[in-house]
Structure 1
Amino acid sequence: MTYRRLGKTGWDVSAVSFGAWAIGGSWGSVDDDESLAALHRAVELGVTFFDTADVYGDGRSEQLLAQLKKDHPEIRIATKAGRRLDPHVAEGYTRENLTAFVERSLRNLDTDALDLVQLHCPPSEVYYLPETFGVLDDLTEAGKVRHYGVSVEKVEEALKAVEYPNVATVQIIFNLFRQRPADLFFEQAQKRDIGVLARVPLASGMLTGKMTPRTTFEADDHRAFNRHGEAFDRGETFAGVDYDAGLQAVKELKEIVPEGLSLVQFALRWILMFDAVSCAIPGAKRPSQAEENVSAADLPPLTDAQMEAARAVYDRHVRAQVHHRW
């Protein structure tokens, strides 16, 4: 495992870390014992940073991570707040609500202070409300939160968020299908010492290379019910790429992958080619998935030709669908 600095937090975190959405819910059936086995295997392989949210399984993911931390107190856990609001509107990001969300996560994670709390893809207007970030400052001052950041849908939101001096991290979708953050945001993140968490790194599993036109998903899997943004932002599912177009892009990407590597390893290593990225946070429901993810951290750099070829696939099949939207 290799480690990178997570911006203003000063922490060194595993370059390939662990996203805990899938072990909470919305990804089909999941078994807690198997999830815990995946979490423990990740730690054995050097993973030190885990990302979750209060809405992943209505606290299920946080509670599993609390169990992990009892055995491994050295790990860092990031969670998120805001998506419990119903309706999810900017006006809901009040002192009362944010404080209640933080207190609930403290209970779920069985801790006195949250390592990192992130606003969970709030409406764009929230980034223009200094008072919201003032609440996070106060929660930090009170010792409830060690650091705070944001999880965003759009590059523009990320650029606005980093203007607040105490924002330490930005979580943003960045993968072979969502390359826009590298154009401007990464430069600003490095200039302001912002930790960057690359989420949805495998495009909801599309970049595993295992999906076909006949692949089906369980009814409670967002890949079945959110392909057009029916439940939340469309960009969260297959990175916003049309399913058939994604399959065609994957077919061409497989031709670039060096012999001996999987597309998963290639996709994660591609993300780590960007120095602004602190860590990628792929999910894993089984120990074998954690092993494959983590192995990407120690791979040699991709070649210039491979990077150019990957960009060409993006330009041909994906750019027109996503680049201007997020």
Structure 2
Amino acid sequence: MMHYRRLGETGLMVSEVGMGGAGIGHVWGPTTEDDAIAAVHTALQAGVNFFDVAATYGDGLAERLLGQALAPDRDRAVIATKVYLAPADLADIPGAIERGLAQSLERLNTGHIDLFQLHNHVTARRGEIPDSLSLHDVLGEGGVVETLQRLKQSDAVRFVGFTGLGQAAAVHSVIQDGGLDTVQAYYNLLNRSAAEPLPPHSGLHDHGQIIPLALQHGLAVIGIRNLAGGVLSAGLDRDIPPQSLFARDARRIARLHFLGEHELPLSQIATRFVLAQRHIATVVPGAKNAAEIEDAIAAAAHPPLDDAQIALLHDAAADDFGVPEPVPTTL
């Protein structure tokens, strides 16, 4: 049976397992339209009501397929999507966001979006990470937050949020501003720094304990990358660059051999680990077919890791799972 959690101060009740749209947008490898739509229908039938897509997933494909799949059941779903601002958009941030909203509404075949979010990384200065926005772009006059707040007053948007990636200090500033309702937090078995400090000299990206900060400032937390981009699953079904974050994470999981003694597959253990973080309202695995969303849903039916396994995880994380390498510049 699906369980539901409150999405912060929005008043919305969302399934603890949601469905991310990167999979049906081909971000995590190819799929078919039939498989993508079947994944959405499978999720709905199992009680999933939170769907998180983005305009960039398949250049609008994920939004279009989600809108098609949910057409008979729009009122049963909480639809979240994201707008991404390219460098050319920054001369007119309000206009770019408004155009993005109109395009998303059309692709999703809906009159309103329940949660409209910024997708770009946030850094102190523009472009410190490719296509990142500066704090001034986000918090300044005529910036992202001001525009999202204005759109929230319309019938087209109910709540607004952002993706908590980029420089931790910049993400902190956006959270502390208090102008948004939600933040997406990168949190999984390998990298828990959105909730707790990294061990000294870690090669992992530091997400700056944004989960407790978000709670302090009234933002709901949406868990992303629960499978670390597919690394914490039965096996990647796509090629990955050898120096990428995904490749480094793949080397780290060799230290998780003790989890093989658990009766569940690694993917379900990883999802259950995230669900044990009660401050996360929902986790959104990027399933691209019915089997993948079924796997995530099944995880919710099992208990979390026991204290002994958690202790072993802490020990493994203390030396960065034996892979103390430089932090990659992208996620």
The answer, yes or no, to whether TM exceeds 0.5 is yes
Please state if 1:299 is matched with 2:312.
Answer: no
Q: Which amino acid aligns with 2:64?
A: Q
Shift of 1:160: 1.5
Aligned pairs for 1:283-298 (under 5 A) are 283-298=286-301
Please state if 1:249 is matched with 2:249.
Answer: no
Q: Contact between 1:2 and 1:298, CA under 8 Å: does it hold in 2?
A: no
* Relative contact order, higher structure (CA 8 A, sep 6+): 1
Please state if 1:176 is matched with 2:176.
Answer: no
Q: Contact between 2:226 and 2:283, CA under 8 Å: does it hold in 1?
A: yes
Q: Contact between 2:226 and 2:285, CA under 8 Å: does it hold in 1?
A: yes
Which residue of 1 is the match for residue 272 of structure 2?
A: 269
Which residue of 2 is the match for residue 105 of structure 1?
A: 104
Shift of 1:320: 4.3
Q: TM-score, normalised by structure 1?
A: 0.84
What SS does the corresponding residue of 2:259 show, helix, strand or coil? coil
Which residue of 2 is the match for residue 45 of structure 1?
A: 46
Which residue of 2 is the match for residue 75 of structure 1?
A: 77
The RMSD of aligned alpha carbons is 2.4
Shift of 1:31: 0.2
5+ residue gaps, structure 2, are 124-133, 197-208
Q: Which amino acid aligns with 2:223?
A: A
Q: Contact between 2:185 and 2:211, CA under 8 Å: does it hold in 1?
A: no
Which residue of 2 is the match for residue 19 of structure 1?
A: 20
Q: Which amino acid aligns with 1:187?
A: P
Q: 2: distance between equivalents of 1:8 and 1:258?
A: 39
Which residue of 2 is the match for residue 202 of structure 1?
A: 227
Q: 2: distance between equivalents of 1:216 and 1:57?
A: 16
C-alpha change, 1:92 and 1:176, in structure 2 (3 Å) is farther
Which residue of 1 is the match for residue 282 of structure 2?
A: 279
Shift of 1:98: 0.8
Which residue of 1 is the match for residue 34 of structure 2?
A: 33
Q: 1: distance between equivalents of 2:96 and 2:238?
A: 38
User: After the TM superposition, which parts of structure 1 deviate over 4 Å for at least 4 consecutive aligned residues?
Assistant: 318-326
Q: Contact between 1:270 and 1:307, CA under 8 Å: does it hold in 2?
A: no
Shift of 1:92: 4.6
1:131 pairs, out of 133, 136, 142, with 142
Aligned pairs for 1:80-99 (under 5 A) are 80-83=82-85, 85-87=86-88, 91-92=90-91, 94-99=93-98
Q: Which amino acid aligns with 1:303?
A: D
Q: Which amino acid aligns with 1:51?
A: D
What SS does the corresponding residue of 1:4 show, helix, strand or coil? strand
Q: 2: distance between equivalents of 1:71 and 1:80?
A: 23
What SS does the corresponding residue of 1:38 show, helix, strand or coil? helix
Q: 1: distance between equivalents of 2:42 and 2:63?
A: 17
What SS does the corresponding residue of 2:177 show, helix, strand or coil? coil
Q: Which amino acid aligns with 2:293?
A: A
C-alpha change, 1:55 and 1:216, in structure 2 (3 Å) is closer
What SS does the corresponding residue of 2:27 show, helix, strand or coil? coil
Q: C-alpha deviations, 1:70-116, integer Å up to 9, x for none? A: 12221111000024x2457xx35611111111111111111222111
Q: 1: distance between equivalents of 2:122 and 2:92?
A: 10
Q: 2: distance between equivalents of 1:321 and 1:78?
A: 35
Q: 2: distance between equivalents of 1:34 and 1:96?
A: 35
5+ residue gaps, structure 1, are 218-222, 229-233, 235-239
Shift of 1:267: 0.5
Aligned pairs for 1:112-191 (under 5 A) are 112-124=111-123, 125=134, 126-132=137-143, 133-154=145-166, 155-183=168-196, 184-191=209-216
C-alpha change, 1:56 and 1:216, in structure 2 (3 Å) is closer
Q: Which amino acid aligns with 1:283?
A: G
What SS does the corresponding residue of 1:71 show, helix, strand or coil? helix
Q: TM-score, normalised by structure 2?
A: 0.83
Equivalenced residues, count: 301
Q: C-alpha deviations, 1:23-65, integer Å up to 9, x for none? A: 1123332200011111111111111101100111111110111
What SS does the corresponding residue of 1:298 show, helix, strand or coil? coil
Q: 2: distance between equivalents of 1:176 and 1:321?
A: 18
Percent identity (aligned): 28
